[in-house]
Amino acid sequence: MPDLVVSVNHVAALRQGHNDKHPDPAAAAVLAELAGAVGIAVRFTGDRRFVNDRDIRVLREIVKGRFILGMAPTSEMMGMALDVKPDEVILIPEHPEEATPSGGLDLILDRAEINDTIATIRDSGIPVFLLIDPDPDHIKIAHRLNVDGVQIHTAAYAGDALPSTRKRLLARLVDAAKIAVKLKLRVAAGSGLGYTTARAVGQLSEVETCIIGHSIMARALMVGIETAVREMIILLEGQ
């Protein structure tokens, strides 16, 4: 089964709505790890719309497992990564109008900038992943860019309620993951996965990590973070 990494971005988004200090993403991270998450992910954007510089530095200090920093391939974001030295970096597209990325990176249009960022961060000893759509051509480009792994964007699969369509979209995820592993890329999956869709992804032997945030935090409103995390781990285990 894949490991569970919990994203705490939606905790920061809730805080931002009231210009308050609460809820604290760091407190949520502690509870998630106590419940069995192997790490914490956070998305850092140039406009600091949810997560701020202090959040990043506090999380780097308190996270006991893997600390994963999602960021756009810009010089500003690269400077933060080199400063705090997360355990992994995931390069993601940044569009100011989107709360979360609606798709993966454009590996053709933004290739030069992505390539420079990959080289600099990897030279500092930090593994680099790319958020990409489940497309074989994108997987092959990622391999040529010399990254450590990919996070396959799962929103299309997770968001479609029609069983026949969802089955087809899951098959795309499977094919993408198999190609990535064949090319010796590590594979993570995430974006939109919830309690009705994570189990199937958890059964894919090629996927080593599922990164899940919104559905866990939404469930946590009812049962608490620790219970919500444990329930997701059970689902990923196929129980």
Phi, psi of 36 (to 5 degrees): 120, -5
Using CB atoms within 10 Å of the CB of residue 127, give its burial: 0 to 12 exposed, 13 to 18 middle, 19+ buried: middle
**Residue 6 near residue 216 (C-beta atoms within 8 A):** yes
What sign does the dihedral 55-60-64-70 (CA atoms) show?
positive
Q: Indicate whether 99 pLDDT > 60.
A: no
How many whole angstroms separate alpha carbon 145 and alpha carbon 210?
A: 23
pLDDT tier at 102, thresholds 50, 70, 90: low
Q: Evaluate if residue 96 carries a pLDDT over 80.
A: no
Q: Percent of the chain at pLDDT above 70?
A: 95
Does the global pTM surpass 0.85?
A: yes
* pLDDT for 229: 98
Q: How far apart are CA 67 and CA 56, in angstroms?
A: 10
- Residue 216 pLDDT class (50, 70, 90 cuts): very high
Return the domain boundaries, the chain: 3-236
Containing 150, the helix (H) or strand (E) segment is: strand 149-153
- pLDDT of 208 strictly over 90: yes
First to last CA, the chain: 11
Q: What CATH class is the domain 3-236?
A: alpha beta
Residue-wise pLDDT for 113-157, tens only, equals 899 999 999 999 999 999 999 999 999 999 999 999 999 999 999
